[in-house]
């Protein structure tokens, strides 16, 4: 039996590792079109700012270590076609410059996402970048040598992470966001504003409601970003306006996509084509709160999907539990997190949702260095069922308490269930009534009253 | 209708506040034998070390603020007897030096606990203390003036908190513990050892297996602690060897105690005597994992009991959800937390429990300042039901992730439920697989295999 995996980052390597653990004898081969495998892409912004030493630090396992576990690794091998009927792949060996045919019994498509590149990001000007993989990061790092002005196009979480890291290098930073606020797809509006205020207070020039119209350059190097509100001078431009799933290979093989545009799978990560699995950022998942299929590419989701696919490809039985879209990021001292639905998302789905907002301190107000924490908690009005939470914490680590709500959403818990939780209290850690309990208490009274 | 509350700290003031909110008209009077009410006793060690500015900072609401909400407050009034048949109290007014009779319709006994004082702690020597309330803290602070050597008798969490705070003042510190390790009643042995090692590395001389036999003094002031292993010189001695519930008043009124020695109540915080409620550290609670009655006095528990009692006394209906014994404390850079049962506790109850131990870093290992975190996760072998967790984290805030397990214990979740949780990941916050998920994965395989 031969398991072939296309793509060697989060989902692909998780699958390879799990398949190997499940069956020590099955043949496993990973084809990766790039030169890097098994690395933490989420750490890329921090190499640029210095909180991660270098790009090599992001590598969890080297190709040699992986091969040492009996997993074949072919770098710079791009899978260009699948013949599902024959059970073969066409693979372009970039070093040899030739295409070979490879057989498979079970195939995993873990091709991930690509950054959306508006026309301006496909320029020939040097100094214009996206940030998706290690080569992107290396290119940005090279551009930053001697640079003084950075322009980040897009105010999503990667842009916000980059803003911190660019400021840490002493760059002047302008962030251009087309929408009315930063973090537009992540949090409800009042929480978007809280983030922007802190980012601005850290010296980032944030310009929301600004559309990029072009670039200026000189001697082949970018010198500025043209917008509908004037020119922004910049030595380095990073465009971070979202991602799209890499589905061309799947589609060509007859693999069905879902309404989200990502690959459709069942809970075993099987596609509609026998023997072909999909996992990772290119793949849909079921949202546990709404039961709908969604495409929310995130690191843990990709790893978990890969794990499930790996076990199943090796002959085991594993199922994917669905996601809550739990996400967290740091920008400057802020931690920002969410799980489940925002009020706006619940409204858009026609749910009868109600939210409360609580501002408190992350630990006892009298204990040193208590930092503000802002929590929105959302529930279904008629049933009290928890729908989601959003947290903006001024000591970033405190945003991790989003996990308590994630655990309860997983169990389809109610606001009352949250309030009843015996959470940990001591003055250096929380108030007697942890802010999540305060929010639950208030929300419980309001949904009961409502 | 007249609600009378005996004891004005956590449970008592929560009850008063909730009763007032539930019924703006009912008369509410709080009798407090001391001079301080409505303060955070858990913050006391930190005033001594400087992380809390002063004792006044611990006060949540002053007597004037409480009276402003229409709640009567009588300080230095000690309730000395209850006539449940007549619905009256005898109250000794310490300032006037006389005893008065006060009527009640509903009575709350929130008399808390007292520190256990072995014979040696009842000495007349100056410089020997317990730490339970603000006057104790003030007395210790006065003793610390000019002191160089502190001896802490007892290695529980208050002793461990004090050790950090005394070291922060530059004192030499000896900790004497009768048992074989510190934190003996809190964690399983391997985790006790981890704590001791860090406390020792911070310059505390920890002597376990050492029994105190007496004190030495000179000119009315303590000079040392005699032990079965020699003399420990000390200018200040704090004895912190546990607490016992204050139940004399309740017993004299015919209120039933439970097997734990604390006051027995139903889920509405009602005692066996009509019209008399109990709440707080003097009161039993039901453990949600074992369904047994336990006496685990902790801050949130006391506040929650008080809330329930307050609503019910005012004519509402509230019930106490039970506890998990979730506890957390900081000592030096360590955060230590637990919820549910330890392996030792589960064994003692005859449960077929199994634990795994996972050591990892609290966030991505490649990101700056990743600190070790050690997690023990315990489940019932036959069912996979979660029983508890213990955490020792070298960045103290990371111990707060105990709350995820608390949330699942609340819902009687399994190891699989924990593993399926979509927890928050970004490199500054956790590994892709949060250490709690890693523990769940491993435990799931072992209980399934076992």
All domains of chain A in start order, with CATH? 2-113+244-313 (3.50.50.60), 117-241 (3.50.50.60), 334-449 (3.30.390.30)
Q: Which residue of B has its CA nearest to A423?
A: B403
CA distance B382 to B174: 45
Known catalytic residues of B are 42
pLDDT at residue A206 greater than cutoff 60: yes
Q: Show the DSSP H helices in A134-188 as ranges.
A: 134-144, 157-168
Tell me, what's the pLDDT at A123? Answer: 84
Considering the entire predicted model, what is its pTM? 0.97
pLDDT at residue B450 greater than cutoff 80: no
pLDDT in tens, A327-356: 999 999 999 999 999 999 999 999 999 999
CA distance A158 to A162: 6
Burial of residue B168 (CB within 10 Å: 0-12, 13-18, 19+) is middle
pLDDT in tens, A300-328: 999 999 999 999 999 999 999 999 999 99
The stretch A393-416 carries a mean pLDDT of 97
CB–CB of B413 and A411 under 8 A?
yes
Interface A-B: count of C-beta contacts within 8 A = 214
Q: Spell out which residues of chain B touch residue A406, defining contact as CB-CB under 8 Å.
A: 404, 421-424
What percent of chain A has pLDDT above 90?
97
Name the average pLDDT for chain A.
97
Q: Is B423 on the interface with A (CB under 8 A)?
A: yes
Q: Spell out which residues of chain B touch residue A432, defining contact as CB-CB under 8 Å.
A: 10, 40, 42, 299-300, 303
pLDDT at residue A89 greater than cutoff 70: yes
Which of residues 299 through 328 in chain A touch B, CB cutoff 8 A?
299-301, 303, 321-328
pLDDT in tens, B247-301: 999 999 999 999 999 999 999 999 999 999 999 999 999 999 999 999 999 999 9
The stretch A124-134 carries a mean pLDDT of 96
Q: What angle do CA A243, A249, A254 make, to 5 degrees?
A: 120
Which of residues 25 through 84 in chain A touch B, CB cutoff 8 A?
40, 42-43, 46, 50-53, 57-58
To test the contact with chain A by mutation, choose from B427, B435, B437 the residue with the greatest count of A C-beta atoms within 10 A, namely B427
CB–CB of A330 and B43 under 8 A?
no
pLDDT at residue A450 greater than cutoff 90: no
Give the pLDDT band of residue A44 (cuts 50, 70, 90): very high
To test the contact with chain B by mutation, choose from A52, A403, A438, A444 the residue with the greatest count of B C-beta atoms within 10 A, namely A403
Token match 């006095």: residue?
A: B297
Q: How far is CA B139 from CA B131, B216, B318, B352, in A?
A: 9, 19, 39, 47
pLDDT in tens, B114-162: 999 998 778 899 999 999 999 999 999 999 999 999 999 999 999 999 9
Element (H, E) at B337: strand B334-340
Q: Spell out which residues of chain A touch residue B43, defining contact as CB-CB under 8 Å.
A: 364, 366-367, 427
The stretch A156-172 carries a mean pLDDT of 98
Q: Is A367 on the interface with B (CB under 8 A)?
A: yes
To test the contact with chain A by mutation, choose from B299, B336, B339, B428 the residue with the greatest count of A C-beta atoms within 10 A, namely B428
pLDDT at residue B449 greater than cutoff 80: no
The stretch B335-358 carries a mean pLDDT of 98
Which of residues 113 through 142 in chain B touch A, CB cutoff 8 A?
none
State how far residue A80 is from chain B, nearest Cα, in angstroms: 30
State how far residue B322 is from chain A, nearest Cα, in angstroms: 8
- How far is residue A205 CA from its own chain's centroid? 24
pLDDT at residue A181 greater than cutoff 60: yes
Q: Spell out which residues of chain B touch residue A427, defining contact as CB-CB under 8 Å.
A: 40, 42-43, 46, 52
Question: Which tokens in the block code for residue B253?
Answer: 């009124």
The stretch A427-441 carries a mean pLDDT of 98
Give the pLDDT band of residue A449 (cuts 50, 70, 90): low
Q: Spell out which residues of chain B touch residue A324, defining contact as CB-CB under 8 Å.
A: 422
Q: Which residue of A has its CA nearest to B369?
A: A51
């Amino acid at each position: 039996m031969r398991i072939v995996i296309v793509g060697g980052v989060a989902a692909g390597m998780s699958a390879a590792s799990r398949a190997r653990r499940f069956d020590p004898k099955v043949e496993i081969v990973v084809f990766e079109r790039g030169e890097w495998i098994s690395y933490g892409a989420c750490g890329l912004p921090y190499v640029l700012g210095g909180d991660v030493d270098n790009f090599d630090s992001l590598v969890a396992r080297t190709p040699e270590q992986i091969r040492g576990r009996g997993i074949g690794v072919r770098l710079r091998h791009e899978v260009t076609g699948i013949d599902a009927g024959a059970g073969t792949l066409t693979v372009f060996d970039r070093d040899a410059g030739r295409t070979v045919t490879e057989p498979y019994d079970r195939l995993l498509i873990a091709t991930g996402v690509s950054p959306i590149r508006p026309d301006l990001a496909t320029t020939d000007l040097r100094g214009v970048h996206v940030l998706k993989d290690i080569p992107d990061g290396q290119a940005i790092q090279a551009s930053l040598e001697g640079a003084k002005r950075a322009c980040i196009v897009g105010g999503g979480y990667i842009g916000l992470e980059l803003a911190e890291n660019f400021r840490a290098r002493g760059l002047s930073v302008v962030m251009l966001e087309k929408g009315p606020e930063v973090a537009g797809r992540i949090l409800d509006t009042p929480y978007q504003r809280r983030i922007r205020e802190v980012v601005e207070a850290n010296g980032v020039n944030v310009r929301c409601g600004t559309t990029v119209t072009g670039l200026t350059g000189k001697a082949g190097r970018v010198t500025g970003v043209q917008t509908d509100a004037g020119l922004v001078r910049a030595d380095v431009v990073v465009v971070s306006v979202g991602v799209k799933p890499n589905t061309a290979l799947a589609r060509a093989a007859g693999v069905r996509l879902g309404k989200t545009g990502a690959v459709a799978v069942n809970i075993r990560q099987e596609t509609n084509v026998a023997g072909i699995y999909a996992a990772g950022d290119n793949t849909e998942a079921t949202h546990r709160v709404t039961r709908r299929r969604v495409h929310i590419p995130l690191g843990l989701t990709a790893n978990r999907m890969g794990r499930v696919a790996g076990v199943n490809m090796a002959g085991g039985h594993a199922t994917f539990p669905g996601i809550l879209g739990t996400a967290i990021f740091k920008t400057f001292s802020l931690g920002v997190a969410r799980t489940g639905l925002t009020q706006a998302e619940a409204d858009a789905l026609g749910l009868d949702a109600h939210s409360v907002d609580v501002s408190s301190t992350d630990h006892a107000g009298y204990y040193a260095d208590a930092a503000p924490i802002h929590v929105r908690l959302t529930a279904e009005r008629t049933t009290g069922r928890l729908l989601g939470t959003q947290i903006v914490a001024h000591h970033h680590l405190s945003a991790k308490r989003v996990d308590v709500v994630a655990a309860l959403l997983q169990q389809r818990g109610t606001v009352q269930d949250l309030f009843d939780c015996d959470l940990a209290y001591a003055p250096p850690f929380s108030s007697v009534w942890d802010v999540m309990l305060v929010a639950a208490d208030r929300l419980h009274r309001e949904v009961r009253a409502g």
